[in-house]
Copies of this chain bind each other. A is one copy, B any other.
Amino acid sequence: MSTETVFTYGAPQLKFGAGAADEIGYDVGQFGATRVLVITDAGVLATGAPARVADSLRTYGMQVQVFSRVHVEPTDESIAEAVEHARDTGPWDAFVAVGGGSCIDTAKAVNLLTTCGGELLDYVNPPVGAGQAPDRPLKPLIAVPTTAGTGAESTTVCVLDVLALKVKTGISHARLRPVLAVVDPTLTHSLPAEVTAACGMDILCHALESYTARPFDARPRKKPAQRVPYCGSNPVADMWSERALGLLSSAFRRAVHHGHEDTPDARAARHDMMLAATFAGLGFGNAGVHVPHANAYPIAGRVADLPEAFHPAGYPAGHPMVPHGMSVCLTAPEAFRFTFDTDPDRHVRAATLLAPTLEAPDDPAEHLPLAVTHLMRDIGMPNGIGGVGFGEEDVDALVEGALKQQRLLDAAPRDVHAEDLAGIFRRSVENW
C-alpha cells in the first residue's frame, strides 16, 4: 500500500469579535446578494440575535425573510419543511444561518436543495441515501453561531435524523461549507452555565479527537476524486486543535462558573470559549472526529427509551435528552485509553495543553483521561453513561448504534471492532 502524502485544508472566511454580527449586512452585500433568507430556530429567535442580523441586512438594502422553524436536532422532515419554504419563497441570493449546529446544518441542506434540486435522500450519505454530490457551486451561506460549541460554521457536513429509519446520518460535501463565519461573542451572553458546560465538552472533544485521529499520512493514497474533507490529523488541523486546548485550559471553568456575570473576566472567558469553538471547528472540520462522537449518537438517540428519564438542568424541560456535548464526553476518557498506544506522546501533549498544572500520573496512558475527568467533575458533567441512566444491560444496543457511524470510526487511529466499543461503553458506566 502506498501511503498518502497530501492533505487538504478548507475553511470559511472569518469575522470575529464583539459587534461583528451588527455589520453583517456589509459582508453579505459583498457577495452581491439582494434577497436573503435568515434561517434560525424559535429558541434563538427569542434571544433577538436573528432580528439584529436581519436589521443589519436591511440597513444595507437587502430584502430579508426570517425562517425560524428549524428543528433542534434536524430531521429529514424538518429539513424538508425548511426546503419547501425556501423554494416557495425563493429564489434567494444568499442564506444566513443564525444559531447552533441545527440552524447552520439546516441552512446547508436548504442551500443545497434550492440550488441543485432533487430530494434530500439523493444527497444523504450511503447506505441511507444515494450520496450524490452537488453538481455546481452553491449560493453563499453565511453562518452566525450563537453557541460556543458545534463548529458547524467550519464544517462540510449536515447532520440529520432520518425518522422512518430511526438513524442519524448526514450529507457531506466540500460545497456545503459556509463561505463566511461571523462569530460574535456577545451573542452567547444569555446561555445558562449548564449549556456552556455541555457545549464546551463538544469543543474539547472536537480538539482531542481531531488531534488523535488517524494521521493523513498513515492512510492509503487517494485519487483526487476520493479525497474527503475529513482527511485525518495533519499539521494544520493539529495547530488549531492545540490552540483550542490552550484556550480551554484557561477559559472553560471560568466560563461555566462565572460566564453569566457582567465583568471583564467573564466577557474574556466567553470570548475565549467562542474562539476555542472556532479554532476546534477549523481543526476537526478538516481532520475529523472518531470514537467519542460515534458513541454519542446512540447515547443521545436511546436516552428516550430508558426507564428513568434523564432531564439535564439548564435545558428546556419536556422530553428526555442528553445534550450533544455531554453525550460526546461520557466515553471520551475510555476512548483515549483505547487510542493511547497509537501515539503516546501526542496523548500526553494534549493532556499537558489542557491541564498544564495537573501532576502527571505514573502511567502516561492515564494522563489525558485524568485531565478530561478532572474537567468533567469541575463543570458538573454526569459521571459516565451511568450518570444519564445507562447500565451494563444497555451496552449491546449502544455498540450496535455506534457501529452505524462507520465514517467516524474509520477516522480513529486504530481499527475499532464491536468488542472494543463494548469495552469502552462498559468501562464508561462510571468515569471516576
Interface residues in chain A, defined as those with a beta carbon under 8 Å from any beta carbon in chain B: 4-11, 13-20, 23, 26-27, 30-32, 136-137, 174, 223-225, 235-236, 239-240, 243, 275, 279
Beyond A10-B13, A239-B240, 17 extra complex contacts between A and B, CB < 8 Å: A4-B17, A5-B18, A6-B15, A6-B17, A6-B19, A6-B20, A8-B14, A8-B15, A8-B16, A9-B14, A9-B15, A11-B13, A16-B236, A26-B224, A27-B224, A235-B275, A239-B279
Residues of B within 8 Å of A279, CB to CB, are 239
Nearest CB on B from A186, distance (A):
9
Judging by beta carbons under 8 Å apart, are A26 and B225 in contact? yes
Judging by beta carbons under 8 Å apart, are B6 and A13 in contact? no
Report copies per complex.
Answer: 2
Known contacts A14-B10, A17-B5, A235-B275: A32-B136 contact under CB 8 Å = yes
Nearest CB on B from A69, distance (A):
30
In the bound assembly, the distance between CA atoms of A159 and B7 in angstroms comes to: 30
Residue of B with least CB distance to A18: B5
Judging by beta carbons under 8 Å apart, are B235 and A32 in contact? no
Nearest CB on B from A349, distance (A):
13
Nearest CB on B from A380, distance (A):
28
Nearest CB on B from A105, distance (A):
21
Nearest CB on B from A221, distance (A):
9
Known contacts A27-B224, A136-B32: A6-B16 contact under CB 8 Å = yes
Q: Which of A6, A10, A137 counts the most chain B CB atoms within 10 A?
A: A6
Judging by beta carbons under 8 Å apart, are B26 and A5 in contact? no
Residues of B within 8 Å of A32, CB to CB, are 136-137
Residues of B within 8 Å of A137, CB to CB, are 31-32
In the bound assembly, the distance between CA atoms of A15 and B286 in angstroms comes to: 11
Residues of B within 8 Å of A16, CB to CB, are 6-9, 236
Nearest CB on B from A250, distance (A):
13
Residue of B with least CB distance to A185: B5
Nearest CB on B from A216, distance (A):
8
Residue of B with least CB distance to A216: B17
In the bound assembly, the distance between CA atoms of A23 and B417 in angstroms comes to: 34
Residues of B within 8 Å of A18, CB to CB, are 5-6
**Of B7, B19, B31, B223, which one neighbours A17 at CB under 8 angstroms?**
B7
Nearest CB on B from A377, distance (A):
29
Nearest CB on B from A408, distance (A):
23
Residue of B with least CB distance to A14: B9
Residue of B with least CB distance to A4: B17
Known contacts A10-B13, A136-B32, A275-B235: A5-B19 contact under CB 8 Å = yes
In the bound assembly, the distance between CA atoms of A243 and B240 in angstroms comes to: 10
In the bound assembly, the distance between CA atoms of A344 and B23 in angstroms comes to: 34
Judging by beta carbons under 8 Å apart, are B8 and A13 in contact? yes
In the bound assembly, the distance between CA atoms of A16 and B23 in angstroms comes to: 34
Residue of B with least CB distance to A243: B239
In the bound assembly, the distance between CA atoms of A20 and B224 in angstroms comes to: 9
Residues of B within 8 Å of A224, CB to CB, are 23, 26-27
